Chain A
Amino acid sequence: MGTSYIYKRDASRLFIALRDTGKRFKIYIPKESRPVVDGEEKDIDFVEQEDFHYAFDWKGKRFHCELVSRDQNKAVIKVNGVEYKYSLESLFSYIRHGMIDKDGKQINENNIISPMPGKIVDIFLSEGDLVNEGEPILSLEAMKMQNEITATCNGVIRKIHVIPGQSIMKDELMVEVTSIDL
């Protein structure tokens, strides 16, 4: 598995922060690297943390964040003295609320359909995993050749319909992928 992919497996680390202005941030907080915001790894250092106060260093500047108020999934954060309002959701609740699903067609386009008849050799991911665009999802053997089938978007694996060793026909639905390219 290539380590150069921005998103690691864990979809529970991906969140959506929606500002009161309607602006949306897709934030992935990896375990051992820097945060990924809207698909881009940011050179941000987390330098201080107290109960309601975080400080970050970025672009040679210090950013002080204070939690001003919190109500369920809504938070008001004061950044360098200015308040911003956000509502927060996990990727899963975001999908559940249909905010991604409203364009059903696009989702279908991201599902993985067998391009040719063949046999599933291996599946690299599990349901609920995050996947990067161009990252192999499974290996399909056809005409004695093994083909890596890759994701067409950054997304989350919703459902896997096949198992290793299974033979499939052309145009069969193998894996359902929901795009996170919001």
Chain B
Amino acid sequence: MKKRLLIANRSEIAIRIIRSAHKLGMLAVVFQSDREPDALYLRYADEIIPSRDAGNEKSIFLDPERIVLLANEHNIDLIHPGYGFLSENPDFAALCVTNGINFIGPSPELIRDMGLKTVAKSMAIKEGLPLVPGSDGPVKDAEAAKVFADKIGYPVILKASAGGGGRGMRIVEKAETIERHFKSASDEALAAFGNGDMFIEKYLQNPKHLEFQILGDKHGNVIHLGERECSLQRKHQKLLEEAPSASVTPQMRKEMGDMAVRFAKAIGYYSAGTIEYIMDEDGSYYFMEMNTRIQVEHPVTEMITGVDLVDWQIKVALGEQLTIKQEDVIISGWAIECRVNTEDPQNRFAPQTGLIDKIHFPQDKSIRIETGVQSGSVVTPYFDSMIAKIIVHGDNRADVIQKTLTALYEFSLLGLKTTIPFCRTVLQHPEFINASYTTRWVDQVYTPEMLENDDDEMIGALAATIMYASEYLQLSSDLPTYKNDSLNVWVLNKRLNY
């Protein structure tokens, strides 16, 4: 009998997982949420479980008990959580396990440990991973802060132990001001949280976000599949990713990758996972955290390594042994992923909802499209604004940048605004082209005016003029000076007869 794999997720990642399930000869089962009963992914599934979540406070995808209940009712063998939602919820993973369902991911214990930053960091320290230099606990007073800052170097960031939302937080550029900043931040924290304890940490002004893809099995084998650079972010939301990173030399790749593998092995990790590093301008890097799920940007790694990560997640869950050895992993070419988010890059990335009148994706052997929508789909306010991903492979970085730009010009979506014009702007920006961009790019460099270009502006003027001209000539046809013999006909024709 075919195994039954339930996907506790939606949109493009559901379709992506269905593909792997089918490849491995399984039946793919999905939930139908009342919040989007006509979603595209439903058409790819072998079986649909109606969730009847219309009246519920939470959608089915955030309801562990109901998911497991329905899974049991439908004789589900495995659950793939995708990303987001419950993918890194240890209680959900544990609930699956106790109900005899194979959860596709690492053990619930590791999901829990990696989710607690302090636990993850202490495990990382134990394995010798570098962490951003900082005080282990609160520093006593301004004097002690200064001594510590002098040791790790400026700039430093002072953080209230009980802090949040930017309160009780100060970036200190030089020794002369640390005392003043410490006092004001500490006072602020005391007033806001009733606790004036302050931590101190080295502040990376222009960091890069790098992450290593890890793949492990239940037999102790772990490999890494190189890094991705995800520095292009807005409010910690990634917008465009590439693999490999131009900031990682082969030497560093080996060092950082081996370190990630060593860590994963030490903690007994299996399934796909990601070790995140933050990298300073001088090339020094520090462990940030580990993600225990498949990531949105996993296709860039698949494009350059030829390894199907979702296939392996499923096979590992079934107890299969990794057949790929570290030395088999060869990085070939370069890949870029552009996220199609229905957000308005001209207006602070405000989410856009409504009907997609028409969507057209570029097509080429070097292009991979992952989409959760099609023409006529409706983007609702209930879920994430990411509707699709355009992933492009090239021979090298310059080649893939060019190919991606061409692909983005072939993409069109009528009805809603998306982040694709933003991606076009990024791909043409000198700081992206020379790979010096950092996580601060959107805040410090980007302005909506950068989305505009002379050609588009001129074509827009032409389109506006044609629209206006057709009406204008009708309105003013009685005026003697205007000879409107055929412009109306010409414009109303389906084509212009040039």
Report which A residues bind B (CB closer than 8 A): 9-13, 15, 17, 19, 23, 25, 27, 29, 31-35, 37, 42, 44-47, 49, 53-54, 56, 58-59, 61-67, 70, 73, 75, 77-84, 86, 88, 90, 92, 127-128
Contact = CB atoms under 8 A, between A and B. Distances in A.
B481 A82 contact: no
B124 to A, nearest CB: 41
Contacts of A29: 465-466, 469, 487
17 contacts: A10-B483, A17-B462, A31-B486, A32-B498, A34-B498, A37-B461, A44-B459, A45-B498, A49-B495, A62-B409, A64-B412, A67-B463, A75-B468, A77-B464, A82-B451, A90-B472, A90-B476
Contacts of B421: 80-82
Interface in B458-488: 458-469, 472-473, 476, 480-487
A27 B417 contact: no
A66 B412 CA distance: 11
B457 A12 contact: no
Interface in B413-467: 413-415, 417-418, 420-421, 424, 451-452, 455-467
Which of B452, B495, B498 counts the most chain A CB atoms within 10 A? Answer: B498
B412 A80 contact: yes
A125 to B, nearest CB: 13
Q: Please name the 8 residue pairs, one residue from A and one from B, whose CB atoms are nearest each other, closest first.
A: A65-B463, A128-B481, A17-B461, A12-B482, A25-B461, A46-B496, A79-B456, A88-B468
B323 interface: no
Contacts, number: 144
Contacts of B483: 9-10, 12, 128
A11 B457 contact: no
Given A45-B498, A73-B468, A86-B464, 18 more contacts: A10-B485, A12-B473, A15-B465, A25-B465, A29-B465, A29-B487, A35-B462, A54-B466, A56-B463, A58-B459, A62-B409, A62-B412, A63-B455, A63-B459, A65-B460, A79-B456, A80-B412, A84-B460
A155 to B, nearest CB: 14
A40 to B, nearest CB: 10
Contacts of A65: 459-460, 463
A12 B481 CA distance: 8
Interface of B: 346, 357-358, 409-410, 412-415, 417-418, 420-421, 424, 451-452, 455-469, 472-473, 476, 480-487, 490, 493-498
A128 B455 CA distance: 31
Contacts of B484: 12
A88 B482 CA distance: 17
Contacts of A90: 472, 476
A64 B416 CA distance: 13
Nearest to A64: B412
Contacts of A32: 497-498
Contacts of B458: 25, 37, 42
A63 B296 CA distance: 29
A98 B159 CA distance: 61
Contact of B467 (A59, A75, A83, A92): A75
Contacts of A42: 458, 462
B410 A77 contact: no
Given A77-B460, A82-B452, A86-B460, A46 B495 contact: yes
A17 B458 CA distance: 9
Contact of A58 (B358, B413, B455, B496): B455
A169 to B, nearest CB: 29
Most B CB contacts (10 A, CB to CB) among A19, A33, A62, A81 go to: A81
Contacts of A44: 459, 462
B346 A82 contact: yes
Contacts of A54: 463, 466-467
Contacts of A81: 412-413, 417-418, 420-421
A11 B461 contact: no
A86 B461 contact: yes
A90 to B, nearest CB: 6
Given A12-B482, A15-B469, A33-B498, A84 B487 contact: no
Contacts of B456: 63, 79-80, 82, 84
A19 B485 CA distance: 29
Contacts of B493: 49
A56 to B, nearest CB: 6
Contact of A56 (B414, B459, B481, B497): B459
B498 A46 contact: yes
A171 B451 CA distance: 53
Contacts of B424: 80
A34 B357 CA distance: 29
Contacts of A78: 417
Contacts of B420: 81
Given A10-B483, A12-B481, A80-B421, A27 B465 contact: yes
Nearest to A56: B459
Nearest to A11: B481
Of B421, B462, B466, B493, chain A has the most CB atoms within 10 Å of the CB of B462
A31 B484 CA distance: 10
A88 B465 contact: yes
A75 B462 CA distance: 12
Given A53-B414, A66-B414, A81-B421, A31 B346 contact: no
